[in-house]
Chains A and B, each alone.
Chain A
Amino acid sequence: MLLSTPTSPHAHTPLDTSGLMRLVILATLPGVAALTWFFGWGTIVNIAFASLIALACEAFALYLRGRRVMFYLRDCSALVTAILLGIALPPGSPWWIIAVGIVFAILIAKQLYGGMGYNPFNPAMAGYVVLLISFPLEMTRWLSPLGTFEGSVPGLMEALQLCFGGGFDAHTMATTLDVFKQGAGLMVADVWQQNPQFGRWGGLGWEWVNIGFLAGGCYLLHRGVFTWHAPMSMLIALTAMAAVFYDGGSSASGGSPLMHLLSGATMLGAFFIITDPVSSAVSTRGRLIYGALAGVLVYVIRRWGNYPDAVAFAVLIVNFAAPFIDHYTMPRTYGHNRGGSD
């Protein structure tokens, strides 16, 4: 009998790429649940519709490129992109916003660059930024979180109507970060009092959303899906920046570190976006620098930029910087001098 003769190693860890992607999807659950609780079913509708389109786009692109469609679809990477973009978009976004974002993310930011593993930019964030630049009005209209108005958040039917019906008469209001941006001159305490959308530490609802993503992120860390380097370094850099520029009083100081940590897309960015392996720096040291740079940029753009939240822009910028970071952080190989050229 002729035996099979594969090459070494013959053993393999049980984790595979599709499994990793499924874990990531699973880990978004707490955050998505919090979003749904505070903002209604809009996020779920976003995610569902985005996933449909994403799978269709991915299948179409794979077919055009002559790849095995089912095999590559099963790596779930398109699904992850769709879910992340669905989370990032305002709940109740019109269907065409979602469609444009996904088509850009999958077809242009991912497949046009060569597909999975070759994209220099995080597809979800690339799609998000394109939408933000093209449709600023729709993209900054967030529903009011539960507890800031009488009544309830949109249910499933309402959310579907928001998405496909076009009518937009639900309660909307500026997000915490928005208010902060425009409320210069007031004392933080005043801002807090005057605006019902502020919660205990950050934005009402947002703090729970962030805690949800933090929990999901910790689960992924625990499962070894990524290492702590990039997320921790981003959060520490953001905290440090906020602490340096926070004077404890006026809103011109840019908000407390805690508010920055628990507002907007901070935790989503730290654990689900900059940990995207494809577009990040590769070495451990590189990831520390990469994360720190992202944290600093998030603060800088939030504080001095023109857009209220900054994670998407910061991520695209650090994606761009990743190859340079890689170049300067090549680990020293065994048996080579510290000079490197040996």
Chain B
Amino acid sequence: MRKVWDIPGGVHPPENKAQSVTRPIASAGIPDVLIYPLSQHIGAAAVPLVEKGDLVLKGQMIAEAMGFVSAPVHAATSGRVTAIEERVIAHPSGMHAPCIVIEPDGENRWIEHSGLEDYTSATPAELLSIIHDAGVAGMGGAGFPSAVKLSTRPDTPIHTLIINGTECEPYITSDDMLMRERADEIVRGTEIIAHILGVSSIIIGVEDNKPEGIASLRSAAEHSAGIEVISFPTKYPSGGEKQLIQILTGQEVPSGGLPSALGIVCQNLGTTVAVHHAVDRGEPLISRIITVTGDSCREPANYEVLLGTPASHLLELSGQQPELCERLIMGGPMMGFALESAEVPVVKTTNCLLAPTRAELPPAAPQQACIRCGICAEACPASLLPQQLFWYATAKEYEKLEAHNLFDCIECGACSFVCPSNIPLVQYYRASKADIRRHHLDHERSERSRARFESRQQRIEQEEAEKQARRQARREAAQARAKEAGTKQPSRSDAAPDAADVIRAAIERSQAKKQAAAAQSQAQADMGIEPDSAQDAIDRAMAKRAAAAAAPKLSPVEQLQNNLASVQSRISKTGEKLEQARTTGEDTVSILESSVAKLEAKRDQILAEIEELGDS
């Protein structure tokens, strides 16, 4: 039996899971309308492939992925595209975004599709492209495109795959029901992912409050070599990726890094099933299991739901009484977000719809003063000092916030949950993080333009100096000639070396300057700043485009994505240059290599940040 570790902090909110596990998973059927946001929570928005009026088939790709962190969107049933327009989407800020709206025709006709006969004969790259094209994305938390998470770099070998079946949020039972009813599919998907990663050690981590699920998973995994099903004590938030890794391995993901730094890849339980469907059946991700629960629902249950189904359809199915419910939560009570309206469609990351009564989850009591009781610090799984963070957040002391590791906060809400003064701590942290990110972006931008300005300044100075030197040399030569002519004393041959010296000195000076300039531009290349003015222009143009597109304020995720895009393009540009340099044998190879490495590190960091943001 594998040893499990404890995590610091954590809380035990009432579980409220029993209500929704009494019935088997039921199909939610085909609703009147399906709505597909082009941006499914994380990653660059997809681009529509259909137009209003088009007929689409079940499983047809209706929007294609754009960019690195992006996933395509598929129709969940056959029907007609009735609109491509702005709709309210599932987003914490209750925003509107472009959506493809489909009216089902009820025939549920599949597009032609087929799975692989034998996935073991496919290469990881082929499998990854199948997974990518199937639109598989993390089905808990951030909704990070799975193909991205599974494509590993040769320099960071992966040895362990962790499947996250923790489901530590109260109320939610979708993974639990999946384990109870479809353990075979989970195991199959897990095997495929393990094959892609080439790992030998596979752990499925489950909290010990799901004994039925664990038993069913264990028996399904019996004949599968290398899969261990590990259960550990129930405590919120053991399902956080970083926490789960700590529980199962005793290791900590380095701050600002990804689990791959430890040789670990984490996948959500639901994702394994989606991978299995994509690879073995050729089916894209068009449905998922969702828990519909809360005291205002007469029959809380789990449903197999077509993505794009409006929340209202599910609530109706479960006999929800809207008059009893004044807030609707997508996700769980700890990290879920409240919806503005029940017309919001479910997306790949939706694991739960919670429709509580007022008595069940009463509105927050008014905030009182922080009494520095430290209860929050005891609850924090990241061992932060939430009360100090709160203090600095209200004072807007950003440096202190960073020194107190604000960015290691996983926004699990354990601190807010226990705070006796009802301080919405997480809300303060989110706001401060966004402020600080914006601050950094601005700073970075101004740094870059400062570097540009300085190198230009230097060029001008250098030219000026050379001119000066030439002028000086001419003047001295003329003087020498005049002297010679006037006194006739010194011979011509004396004057000539004089002038030559001056010129030589001037040339040496200017060469030294040139060298200094070269050294600096190298240093800039090392720092990841492109001295290339064309690149600057591209950056500038991109920044401008981003700024123009961002007339309504960019969310931090979007900003990060812009950053990511620019880093990505710089990586490929620098990579090309590196190739060139290699073929021509230039001596810039090592410099370019190091800047590629740095850019890649930066990309990883941005990815980690995006993922973290999405987790929240």
B-binding residues in A (CB < 8 A): 1-13, 15-20, 71-72, 75, 77, 115-118, 226-227, 277-278, 280, 282-284, 287, 330-336, 342
- Once the chains bind, are A8 and B336 in contact (CB under 8 Å)? yes
Q: How far, in whole Å, are A284 and B335 apart by their CA atoms in the complex?
A: 26
Please name all residues of chain A whose beta carbon is closer than 8 Å to the beta carbon of B381 when the two chains form the complex. Answer: 334
B241-252 contact mask (Cβ, 8 Å, vs A): 1 or 0: 010001000001
- Once the chains bind, are B417 and A11 in contact (CB under 8 Å)? yes
Q: How far, in whole Å, are A330 and B366 apart by their CA atoms in the complex?
A: 30
Q: How far, in whole Å, are A287 and B363 apart by their CA atoms in the complex?
A: 33
Given contacts A8-B426, A16-B368, A334-B383, contact A2 B341 (CB under 8 A): yes
- Once the chains bind, are A331 and B385 in contact (CB under 8 Å)? yes
- Once the chains bind, are B405 and A336 in contact (CB under 8 Å)? yes
Given contacts A7-B92, A7-B338, contact A333 B327 (CB under 8 A): no
Closest to B12 in A: A13
Number of A-B contacts (CB under 8 A): 171
Give the shortest distance, in Å, between A3 (CB) and chain B (any CB).
5
B427 at the interface (CB under 8 A from A): yes
Closest to B417 in A: A9
Please name all residues of chain A whose beta carbon is closer than 8 Å to the beta carbon of B369 when the two chains form the complex. Answer: 17, 72, 75, 115-118
- Once the chains bind, are B372 and A282 in contact (CB under 8 Å)? yes
A-B contact pairs, 20 of them (CB 8 A): A3-B327, A4-B327, A8-B426, A10-B327, A10-B329, A10-B336, A10-B361, A11-B14, A13-B13, A15-B420, A75-B368, A118-B369, A277-B374, A283-B377, A284-B378, A331-B385, A334-B253, A334-B381, A334-B408, A342-B254
Please name all residues of chain A whose beta carbon is closer than 8 Å to the beta carbon of B342 when the two chains form the complex. Answer: 3
B370-392 contact mask (Cβ, 8 Å, vs A): 1 or 0: 11111001100111110110000
Across the A-B interface, give the 4 residue pairs with the lowest CB-CB distance, nearest first. A9-B413, A277-B373, A335-B255, A5-B338
Given contacts A11-B170, A15-B420, contact A331 B383 (CB under 8 A): yes
Give the shortest distance, in Å, between B376 (CB) and chain A (any CB).
9
Q: How far, in whole Å, are A186 and B373 apart by their CA atoms in the complex?
A: 45
Please name all residues of chain A whose beta carbon is closer than 8 Å to the beta carbon of B8 when the two chains form the complex. Answer: 331, 334
Please name all residues of chain B whose beta carbon is closer than 8 Å to the beta carbon of A336 when the two chains form the complex. Answer: 255, 405, 408
- Once the chains bind, are A335 and B322 in contact (CB under 8 Å)? no
- Once the chains bind, are A335 and B408 in contact (CB under 8 Å)? yes
Q: How far, in whole Å, are A1 and B320 apart by their CA atoms in the complex?
A: 15
Q: How far, in whole Å, are A342 and B369 apart by their CA atoms in the complex?
A: 32
- Once the chains bind, are B372 and A278 in contact (CB under 8 Å)? yes
Q: How far, in whole Å, are A3 and B404 apart by their CA atoms in the complex?
A: 36
B334 at the interface (CB under 8 A from A): yes
- Once the chains bind, are A6 and B327 in contact (CB under 8 Å)? yes
Please name all residues of chain A whose beta carbon is closer than 8 Å to the beta carbon of B334 when the two chains form the complex. Answer: 8-11
B337 at the interface (CB under 8 A from A): yes
- Once the chains bind, are B257 and A335 in contact (CB under 8 Å)? yes
Please name all residues of chain A whose beta carbon is closer than 8 Å to the beta carbon of B374 when the two chains form the complex. Answer: 227, 277, 282-284, 287
Give the shortest distance, in Å, between A8 (CB) and chain B (any CB).
5
Give the shortest distance, in Å, between A263 (CB) and chain B (any CB).
29
Q: Pick from A7, A72, A226, A282 the residue with the most CB of B within 10 Å.
A: A7
B340 at the interface (CB under 8 A from A): yes
Please name all residues of chain B whose beta carbon is closer than 8 Å to the beta carbon of A332 when the two chains form the complex. Answer: 383
Given contacts A277-B372, A333-B383, A335-B254, contact A9 B365 (CB under 8 A): no
Please name all residues of chain A whose beta carbon is closer than 8 Å to the beta carbon of B424 when the two chains form the complex. Answer: 7
Contact of A4 among B242, B326, B384, B413 (CB under 8 A): B326
Given contacts A16-B421, A282-B377, A335-B257, contact A7 B427 (CB under 8 A): yes
Please name all residues of chain B whose beta carbon is closer than 8 Å to the beta carbon of A20 when the two chains form the complex. Answer: 371, 373, 420
Please name all residues of chain A whose beta carbon is closer than 8 Å to the beta carbon of B377 when the two chains form the complex. Answer: 282-284, 331
- Once the chains bind, are A3 and B326 in contact (CB under 8 Å)? yes
Q: How far, in whole Å, are A277 and B420 apart by their CA atoms in the complex?
A: 12
B146 at the interface (CB under 8 A from A): no
Give the shortest distance, in Å, between B37 (CB) and chain A (any CB).
18
User: In residues 1-39 of chain B, which contact A (Cβ within 8 Å)?
Assistant: 8, 11, 13-14
Please name all residues of chain B whose beta carbon is closer than 8 Å to the beta carbon of A278 when the two chains form the complex. Answer: 371-372
- Once the chains bind, are A12 and B385 in contact (CB under 8 Å)? no
- Once the chains bind, are B420 and A334 in contact (CB under 8 Å)? no
Q: Pick from B14, B338, B404 the residue with the most CB of A within 10 Å.
A: B338
Contact of A6 among B255, B338, B418 (CB under 8 A): B338
Contacts beyond the supplied A17-B420, A20-B420: 13 A-B pairs with Cβ under 8 Å: A3-B327, A9-B413, A11-B334, A12-B417, A13-B418, A117-B371, A278-B371, A278-B372, A331-B8, A333-B405, A334-B382, A335-B252, A335-B382
User: In residues 396-421 of chain B, which contact A (Cβ within 8 Å)?
Assistant: 404-405, 408, 413, 416-418, 420-421
Contact of B385 among A16, A330, A342 (CB under 8 A): A330
B317-358 contact mask (Cβ, 8 Å, vs A): 1 or 0: 000001001111101011111111110000000000010100
- Once the chains bind, are B255 and A226 in contact (CB under 8 Å)? no
Q: How far, in whole Å, are A77 and B404 apart by their CA atoms in the complex?
A: 29
- Once the chains bind, are B385 and A3 in contact (CB under 8 Å)? no
Given contacts A7-B424, A8-B336, A8-B426, contact A1 B364 (CB under 8 A): no
Q: How far, in whole Å, are A16 and B417 apart by their CA atoms in the complex?
A: 11
- Once the chains bind, are B368 and A17 in contact (CB under 8 Å)? yes
Please name all residues of chain A whose beta carbon is closer than 8 Å to the beta carbon of B11 when the two chains form the complex. Answer: 13
Q: How far, in whole Å, are A243 and B589 apart by their CA atoms in the complex?
A: 72
Give the shortest distance, in Å, between B12 (CB) and chain A (any CB).
10
Contact of B420 among A19, A71, A282, A330 (CB under 8 A): A19
Q: How far, in whole Å, are A289 and B408 apart by their CA atoms in the complex?
A: 26
B522 at the interface (CB under 8 A from A): no
Contact of B339 among A3, A72, A333 (CB under 8 A): A3
- Once the chains bind, are B364 and A6 in contact (CB under 8 Å)? yes
Please name all residues of chain A whose beta carbon is closer than 8 Å to the beta carbon of B260 when the two chains form the complex. Answer: none
- Once the chains bind, are A5 and B339 in contact (CB under 8 Å)? yes
Please name all residues of chain B whose beta carbon is closer than 8 Å to the beta carbon of A4 when the two chains form the complex. Answer: 326-327, 338, 363
Q: How far, in whole Å, are A32 and B135 apart by their CA atoms in the complex?
A: 68
B422 at the interface (CB under 8 A from A): yes
- Once the chains bind, are A10 and B365 in contact (CB under 8 Å)? no
Give the shortest distance, in Å, between B457 (CB) and chain A (any CB).
35
Give the shortest distance, in Å, between A324 (CB) and chain B (any CB).
14
Closest to B242 in A: A334
B94 at the interface (CB under 8 A from A): yes
Contact of A9 among B335, B371, B384 (CB under 8 A): B335
Q: How far, in whole Å, are A72 and B385 apart by their CA atoms in the complex?
A: 25
- Once the chains bind, are B94 and A5 in contact (CB under 8 Å)? yes
Contact of B378 among A7, A11, A17, A227 (CB under 8 A): A227
Closest to B413 in A: A9
Q: How far, in whole Å, are A124 and B371 apart by their CA atoms in the complex?
A: 16
- Once the chains bind, are B388 and A12 in contact (CB under 8 Å)? no
B117-130 contact mask (Cβ, 8 Å, vs A): 1 or 0: 00000000000000
- Once the chains bind, are A9 and B426 in contact (CB under 8 Å)? yes
- Once the chains bind, are A334 and B363 in contact (CB under 8 Å)? no
Give the shortest distance, in Å, between A74 (CB) and chain B (any CB).
9
Closest to B405 in A: A333
Q: How far, in whole Å, are A8 and B339 apart by their CA atoms in the complex?
A: 11
Q: How far, in whole Å, are A333 and B9 apart by their CA atoms in the complex?
A: 12
Q: How far, in whole Å, are A311 and B328 apart by their CA atoms in the complex?
A: 52
Q: How far, in whole Å, are A245 and B325 apart by their CA atoms in the complex?
A: 66
Q: How far, in whole Å, are A280 and B13 apart by their CA atoms in the complex?
A: 27
Q: How far, in whole Å, are A13 and B415 apart by their CA atoms in the complex?
A: 10
Please name all residues of chain A whose beta carbon is closer than 8 Å to the beta carbon of B388 when the two chains form the complex. Answer: 282
Q: How far, in whole Å, are A71 and B367 apart by their CA atoms in the complex?
A: 10
- Once the chains bind, are B417 and A13 in contact (CB under 8 Å)? yes
Q: How far, in whole Å, are A3 and B329 apart by their CA atoms in the complex?
A: 10
Please name all residues of chain A whose beta carbon is closer than 8 Å to the beta carbon of B252 when the two chains form the complex. Answer: 334-335
Q: How far, in whole Å, are A252 and B334 apart by their CA atoms in the complex?
A: 59
Please name all residues of chain A whose beta carbon is closer than 8 Å to the beta carbon of B170 when the two chains form the complex. Answer: 11
Please name all residues of chain B whose beta carbon is closer than 8 Å to the beta carbon of A9 when the two chains form the complex. Answer: 333-335, 413, 416-417, 426
